[in-house]
Amino acid sequence: MRKYLDPAVLAQLQGLELKAKLVVEGNLSGMHKSPFKGFSVEFAEHKSYFPGDDIRYIDWKLYGKSEKFFIKQYEEDTNLKSYLLLDTSKSMGFPEKSQTKLEYSIFLTVAMSYLMLSQRDSVGLLTFNDSICDYIPPRNEMSHLHYIVDILEKIKPANKTSISHSLKYLASKIKRRGLIILISDLVDDQENVLKHLAYLRKMKHEIIVFHIMHPDEVNIPYHGTVKFKNMENHGEITAIPDRIRNNYSKNLQNFINTYQQNCWQEKIDYHRIITSVPVEKAILNYIAGRKKV
């Protein structure tokens, strides 16, 4: 755990709030808007008592059995459920000789989980490549973070990417509106990815896309004759970077612009993160920009 959340990072994350922009099916001590009034008669789940919770909803029978305080939550009073989707495909294993995009993304996933749990939201995790690797349903216990970290520590980049498959799988799991955070390099069929993101927006979910890129992917700081390898299909191409750099930059910018523009049209938050930026600074920058909007 200490590897991912050192005191310096925690100090910068403490006090931050990631408020839902849209009306969500839930509230959290006034932090998130709710379309409901009062309490539903349908019991949903328990959560640990937190100072400030209404003691009228303590489950005294459960206290008698466990000697711990739990609050009864009802279907219309459960907190915001967040789902972190982490791409673990082979392209996320770039570069091979320094911190990879996947390693950076794991730090980002843990930090975002901590941020959401510290504001008492429920957090779930879905890891994927061309299939679903792990799925952990949302929980709002801070101890849940240990379980998330245990899963993340075992991840190795493998296989191709299928973002659309992971989004389709998640759509089948979510019964109520929530917050979906996709963490990926987005190296996939762009049209298909955007189609499935738009579908989830039509289901009224709020979506954040963190587009993870390594500086070398942006600048291609290579010279001479270089052999480039496709990490997912093992294809190779030999090129002279100085000759292709301009065309590469134009194509890359078109790729980024397509995501930016389509996400903007669908009211999806798109945020590009370069892995040379410390994770805590990347989160601070994102939240600062979100507040401006």
Contact present, 100 and 84 (Cβ < 8 Å) = no
Instruction: Give the tens place of pLDDT for each residue, 196-252.
Output: 999 999 999 999 999 999 999 999 988 889 888 887 877 889 989 899 999 999 999
Strands 206-213 and 179-184, how do they pair?
A: parallel
pLDDT at 52: 60
Q: What is the mean pLDDT of each run of 10 residues along the chain (293 residues)?
A: 67 71 43 46 65 75 83 61 96 93 96 88 95 94 90 94 97 91 97 97 95 95 87 85 93 97 96 95 88 65
Residue indicated by tokens 């957090």: 123
Nearest alpha carbon to residue 162 among 87, 229, 273, 263: 87
Backbone angles phi, psi at 262, to 5 degrees: -70, -40
| Domain residue ranges in the chain | 7-16+79-292, 43-74
Share of the chain above pLDDT 90, in %: 56
Cα angle 109, 151, 7; round to 5: 50
**Which of 239-266 are b and which e, b meaning 16 or more Cβ less than 10 Å from the residue's Cβ?**
eebeeeeeebeeeeeeebeebbebbeeb
Instruction: Give the tens place of pLDDT for each residue, 61-88.
Output: 888 888 888 877 654 445 689 999 999 9
Q: What's the token pair of residue 27?
A: 């509230």
What does the alpha-carbon distance between residue 238 and residue 55 come to, in Å, rounded to a whole number?
67
Amino acid type, 254: N
Contact present, 197 and 268 (Cβ < 8 Å) = yes
Tell me the chain's radius of gyration from C-alpha atoms. Answer: 21
pLDDT at 44: 61
Q: Which fold has domain 7-16+79-292?
A: Rossmann fold (3.40.50)
